[in-house]
């Protein structure tokens, strides 16, 4: 049996999965594309969304982060609740169906601030999808409020959160994690939070930050931990490999990923994570061009219009103003795929 068939059979050792990286890109791409086409044909999903980042003041220090206010980015801010609600209302008027709220861990503003942002948006916009707060924030909210993470998640639902984004996952390997984001939510707790969220009947995403100091085995380990929780709960909608952006941060990385390594990682994720429905080539960190190529290597989603992006653009990504809807649609079409606007839970809204 060849290696890919062995992996697909589910009966394999950890080292077998790491060996996938030794295969030729085209071989991986062919296998990943077969899975992609079986699930989605030539459809590529996107959504019309708006990112809101309420504050960049953070008690944690993640070395890869260029968004939080620090010596390299000395512009601390905290939006007030009305400002957040206004951003959501304006975005809704322009067609956004989802707001994606992620904040730095600002202890000054208090627990209720975060919940009130969601309540405020929900009150004004009853039918917008609110994707809010990573497991890292949930863990921080729990420290801030003295509530346990389960109570925080229950409060989030009461406030109006519909789903959770996949951030804060970074790399689950504890040794690497300790070097890049010591003090942030542990890998164990990250999974406990998502497991409980799924138990509450809600969906979430899961990311992986790669291309910094991790190695291939760390990435495989990361994916296999995701696969294991997905087998238990089925609650992940999408896996999102985030390519590390190098500017304005404190992580000293000498070698950067080749396009081939990025595509291999996307293809391997499609092969290993057959139980996670969607693989998102997030155009912000993959770049637009490579995201379009990635459609051929297992990816069936490239995120959305975003309107304003602050976390990755602070670290060098060309994404600060989001993407024009017509441009996004035409790029997908011109690359030979069928653009499909989806909602946040991957129901199809419009085929272009």
By CB under 6 A, tell whether 165 contacts ligand V47.
yes
64 belongs to the binding site for ligand V47 (CB under 6 A): yes
Is residue 168 involved in binding ligand V47 (CB under 6 A)?
A: yes
User: Binding residue for ligand V47 (CB under 6 A) from 20, 57, 66, 132?
Assistant: 66
Residue 237 three-state SS: strand
The binder of ligand V47 chosen from 52, 220, 263, 311 (CB under 6 A): 311
Supply angle C-alpha 326, 311, 316, rounded to 5: 80
Q: Which of 178, 182, 175 is nearest to 61 (CA)?
A: 182
Q: Which of 230, 245, 287, 300 binds ligand V47 (CB under 6 A)?
A: 245
Could you give the CA distance from residue 227 to residue 273 in angstroms, rounded to a whole number? 6
209: left (phi over 0), alpha (psi -120 to 50) or beta: beta
8 Å CB contact between 193 and 168: no
Residue 287 within binding range of ligand V47, rule CB under 6 A: no
- State the nearest-atom distance from the C-beta of 15 to ligand V47, in Å: 27
**Edge-to-edge strands of the sheet including 163-164?**
49-52, 98-101, 129-132, 163-164, 203-210, 236-243, 278-279
Distance, in Å, from the CA atom of 185 to the CA atom of 180, rounded to the nearest integer, reads 12
Kindly indicate which of the ranges 32-40, 119-127, 182-190, 204-212 contains the residues binding ligand V47, using the contact rule CB under 6 A: 204-212
Which residue, 26 or 256, has its beta carbon nearer to ligand V47?
A: 256
Q: Please report where in the chains the tokens 């190695």 appear, as a residue.
A: 215
Binding of ligand V47 at residue 167 (CB under 6 A)? Answer: yes
Run of H or E residues at 205: strand 203-210
Does 298 engage in binding with ligand V47 (CB under 6 A)? no
**Which position among 249, 287, 296, 307 is part of the footprint of ligand V47 (CB under 6 A)?**
249
Which residue has its beta carbon closest to ligand V47?
A: 167
Using CB under 6 A, which of the segments 31-39, 90-98, 240-248, 255-263 binds ligand V47? 240-248
Report if residue 312 touches ligand V47, rule: CB under 6 A: yes
Write down the least CB distance from residue 2 to ligand V47, Å: 33
The size of the interface with ligand V47 (CB under 6 A), counted in residues, is 23
Interaction mask 1-40, ligand V47, x per CB under 6 A? ----------------------------------------
Q: Which is nearer to ligand V47, 84 or 206 (CB)?
A: 206
Is 303 a residue that touches ligand V47 (CB under 6 A)?
yes
CA torsion sign for 210, 216, 217, 220 is: positive
C-beta of residue 260 within 8 angstroms of C-beta of residue 268 = no
Rank residues 7 and 240 by Cβ distance to ligand V47 and give the closer one.
240
Q: How far apart are CA 284 and CA 315, in angstroms?
A: 11
Question: Across the beta sheet with 301-304, what order do the strands follow?
Answer: 301-304, 43-47, 338-342, 348-351
Q: Toward ligand V47, which CB reaches closer, 18 or 253?
A: 253
Query: Residues in the site for ligand V47, rule: CB under 6 A?
Result: 64-66, 102, 165-168, 170, 205, 207, 209, 240, 242, 244-245, 249, 282, 285, 303, 311-312, 315
């Amino acid at each position: 049996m060849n290696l890919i068939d062995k992996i697909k059979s589910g009966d394999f050792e950890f080292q077998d999965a790491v060996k996938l990286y030794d295969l030729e890109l085209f071989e991986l791409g062919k296998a990943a594309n077969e899975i992609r086409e079986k699930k989605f044909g030539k459809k590529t999903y996107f959504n019309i969304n708006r990112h809101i980042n309420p504050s960049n003041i953070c008690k944690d220090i993640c070395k890869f982060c260029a968004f939080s206010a620090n010596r390299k980015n000395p512009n601390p801010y905290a939006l007030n609740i009305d400002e957040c609600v206004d951003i959501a209302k304006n975005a809704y008027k322009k067609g956004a169906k989802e707001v994606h709220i992620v904040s730095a861990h600002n202890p000054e503003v208090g627990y209720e601030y975060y919940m009130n942002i969601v309540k405020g948006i929900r009150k004004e916009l009853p039918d917008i999808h609110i994707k809010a707060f990573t497991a890292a924030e949930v863990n921080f909210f729990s420290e801030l409020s003295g509530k346990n993470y389960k109570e925080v998640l229950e409060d989030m639902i009461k406030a109006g959160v519909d789903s959770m984004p996949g951030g804060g996952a970074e790399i689950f390997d504890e040794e690497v994690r300790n070097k890049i984001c010591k003090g942030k939510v542990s890998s164990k707790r990250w999974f406990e939070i998502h497991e409980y969220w799924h138990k509450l009947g809600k969906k979430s995403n899961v990311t992986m930050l790669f291309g910094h100091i991790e190695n291939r085995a760390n990435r495989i380990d990361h994916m296999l931990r995701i696969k294991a929780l997905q087998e238990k709960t089925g609650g992940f909608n999408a896996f999102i490999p985030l390519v590390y952006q190098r500017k304005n941060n404190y992580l000293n990385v000498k070698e950067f990923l080749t396009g081939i390594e990025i595509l291999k990682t996307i293809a391997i994720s499609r092969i290993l994570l057959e139980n996670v429905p969607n693989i998102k080539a997030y155009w912000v960190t993959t770049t637009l061009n490579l995201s379009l190529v990635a459609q051929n290597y297992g990816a069936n989603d490239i995120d959305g219009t975003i309107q304003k992006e602050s976390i990755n653009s602070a670290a060098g990504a060309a994404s600060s103003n989001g993407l024009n809807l017509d441009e996004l649609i035409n790029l997908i079409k011109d690359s030979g795929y069928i653009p499909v606007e989806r909602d946040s839970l991957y129901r199809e809204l419009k085929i272009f």
